[in-house]
Amino acid sequence: MLFQVGGQGVRPTFFEMAAAQQLPASLRAALTYSIGVLALRRPLLHKVLDYDDEFFALLMLVLETHSLRTTEASFSESLYGLRRRAVNVQLSKENPRAELGHSGLKKHQKALSVAFLVVLPYFKSKLHSIYNREREATLQASLWGPSDVRVDDSDYFDSGDSHVPTGSLSTNTSLWTHIRKRIEAFIGEFYPWIHAGNEGLTFAYQLLYLLDATGFYSPGLHVLGIHVCRATGQELMDTSSRISKIRSRERERLRGPPWLKALQRVLLSCMYTTLDYAQTGLIAAVFFFKMMEWWYQSAEERMSAPTVYPPPPPPPPPKVAEEGIPLPPDRTICPLCSQKRVNPSVVAVSGFVFCYPCIFRYVSQYKRCPVTLMPTTSDQIRRLFHDM
C-alpha cells in the first residue's frame, strides 16, 4: 500500500527537531546553575537543589500543559514555530493511494503528550539515579566487602529501662527495607538493557527521519500517532485568537460575590502574564547560562594555561664523606667492588649507584650509604633499568 502525506504544514528538518528536543536539557542546566548561584547567599535554596527532579518536572508540567492547550505544541516546539498534528489515514475507492491527513490534537493525545514529555523523563531520571547508587554500592562491595551487617548505634544508647514496644515497628521497617533493596537490585540489573533498548530505538527513528523514511521523529510520537509540522502563517495568526477565546471562557466561568470575582480576575491576569512571558524569560535564562559558562570556561583556561618558566637548577650533589668510600673516576664502575656494575641499583637517600649484590650486603650490615655515610636501610634500594 502506498502512502502520501497530505494536509497542512511542512515537515521540519532533522536539525530543527533535534534542537527542540535538546532545549529542555539546556533549560534545566540553566535553572540548576542559577539556583546554585543564588544558594550561595541564601542557603535555603539548597533544598530546591535536593529535589531538582521534582522541581523541574513541576515546572515543565505547567509549561507543557499550557503550551499544548494553547498552541497544540510542546513548549520547545512552539519556540521553533512547530505544531503537533494527529495523523489520520484516509482511504478511498477512487484513489488507490492512501493519504495521511493531519488534524488537530484530541484531548487524550494532549494528555498523553504531557505524560511523554514530563512524566516519562521524570521516571527515567529517577531510575538512572537508583542505577547509579546501585552501581556504586556494587563497586564498594567488590572493594570492601558487603555492608549488609552494620552496627546500630542505637544499641549502645538504649537504656535497659525502656519499655517501648518496638518489635512490630522494626519488623515493618526491615520488611520495607528488604523490599526496597530488592527493587533497587532489580533496577540495577535490568535498567542498562532497558536504557540501551530505548536509546537504540530512538536512534533508529531519528536515522529513518533523517533519511525521509518516516514522518515520526521518535517512538513516542509514533505511539501517539502525531506528526510535528511547521506552523503556517494562518495558524500562527489563529493562535492569538484561540488564546483570547480560551481566556474569555475562563473569565466567564468565575463564580462568587463581586469582590471574589475581582480577586480571581487579578490572579488570572497575573498567571496569564507569567505564562506569556515564560518563554522569553526562560530563553533569556538559557542564553545567560551559556554566556556565563563560556565566560568562566575561558577564564579558567586562561588561569590554567601553562606558563613557561626556566627549568629550576638541579639540586647540589650529596657530599662524599671523608671516611666514606671514594668514587672511581669511571662512572660505570661500582665503588664497592671496583668492577663494572651488574644489576645497577641506587640508594635513595644519596643517589649513588652500585651493584645490587654489593650495596645490599653493605647496607644490610652497616645500615648506611658507603659513600656519604648517611643512614639508610635495604628498603631504600631501588633497581635501575636504564644505567647511564
Is residue 303, in this structure, part of any structural domain at all?
A: no
The residue whose grid cell reads 643512614 is: 375
154 has a pLDDT exceeding 80: no
DSSP 340-378: B-SSEEEETTT--EEEHHHHHHHHHHHSB-TTT--B--G
Mean pLDDT within 350-367: 91
Residue 359 is predicted with a pLDDT of 92
Encode burial over 247-260: b for 16+ CB neighbours within 10 A, e otherwise. Answer: eeeeeeeeeeeeee
What CATH number did the domain enclosing 345 receive?
Answer: 3.30.40.10
Is residue 53, in this structure, part of any structural domain at all?
A: yes
Per the structure, the complete domain to which residue 53 belongs is given by 1-88+104-141+181-253
Strand, helix or coil for residue 280:
helix
Is residue 325, in this structure, part of any structural domain at all?
A: yes
Residue 161 is predicted with a pLDDT of 45
Distances (CA, A) of 119 to 93, 124, 186, 332: 42, 9, 21, 75
pLDDT band at 207 (very low <50, low <70, confident <90, very high): very high
Cell of 62: 505547567
203 has a pLDDT exceeding 90: yes
Query: Do residues 80 and 206 both lie within one domain?
Result: yes
Give how many domains the chain has, as a whole number.
Answer: 3
Residues 228 and 87: their CA atoms lie apart, in Å, by 10
Mean pLDDT within 375-379: 90
Burial degree of 74 (CB within 10 A; 0-12, 13-18, 19+): buried
Query: Do residues 5 and 78 both lie within one domain?
Result: yes
Cell of 53: 527532579
H or E stretch including 86? strand 82-90
Mean pLDDT within 7-23: 79
Query: Do residues 115 and 48 both lie within one domain?
Result: yes
pLDDT band at 305 (very low <50, low <70, confident <90, very high): low
Is residue 367, in this structure, part of any structural domain at all?
A: yes
Is residue 149, in this structure, part of any structural domain at all?
A: no
Name 89's bridge partners. 100
Contact 268, 276 (CB under 8 A): no
Query: Do residues 271 and 245 both lie within one domain?
Result: no
Instruction: State the virtual CA torsion across 106, 109, 111, 114 in degrees, nearest 10.
Output: -130
Residue 105 is predicted with a pLDDT of 83
Closest CA to 128 of 179, 195, 61: 195
Highest mean pLDDT among 111-120, 161-170, 242-251: 111-120
| Cα 171–chain centre separation | 37
H or E stretch including 87? strand 82-90
What is the percent of the chain where pLDDT is above 90? 13
Query: Do residues 210 and 75 both lie within one domain?
Result: yes
Query: Do residues 82 and 53 both lie within one domain?
Result: yes
Residue where a domain terminates, one of 206, 234, 253: 253
Query: Do residues 260 and 354 both lie within one domain?
Result: no
Residue 300 is predicted with a pLDDT of 57
Mean pLDDT within 292-320: 70
Highest mean pLDDT among 93-97, 242-246, 296-300, 363-367: 363-367
* pLDDT single digits (tens) 241-285: 777 777 777 777 777 788 887 888 788 788 777 777 776 777 776
188 has a pLDDT exceeding 70: yes
Residue where a domain terminates, one of 253, 273, 303: 253
For the chain, give the mean pLDDT.
78
Residue 6 is predicted with a pLDDT of 40
Query: Do residues 69 and 217 both lie within one domain?
Result: yes
Is residue 127, in this structure, part of any structural domain at all?
A: yes
Q: Strand 82-90 and strand 226-230: pairing?
A: antiparallel
Q: For CA atoms 115, 121, 125, 128, give the dihedral sign.
A: positive
Residue where a domain terminates, one of 253, 269, 296: 253
Contact 228, 217 (CB under 8 A): yes
Cell of 214: 518516516
Name 85's bridge partners. 227
* pLDDT single digits (tens) 29-51: 777 777 777 777 777 777 777 78
Q: How many helices (H) and strands (E) does the chain have?
A: 13, 7
Q: Strand 82-90 and strand 98-103: pairing?
A: antiparallel
Query: Do residues 218 and 354 both lie within one domain?
Result: no
Is residue 96, in this structure, part of any structural domain at all?
A: no
Query: Do residues 366 and 262 both lie within one domain?
Result: no
Query: Do residues 15 and 110 both lie within one domain?
Result: yes
Is residue 372, in this structure, part of any structural domain at all?
A: yes
The structure's pTM equals 0.58
Q: Strand 344-347 and strand 3-5: pairing?
A: unpaired
Query: Do residues 202 and 114 both lie within one domain?
Result: yes
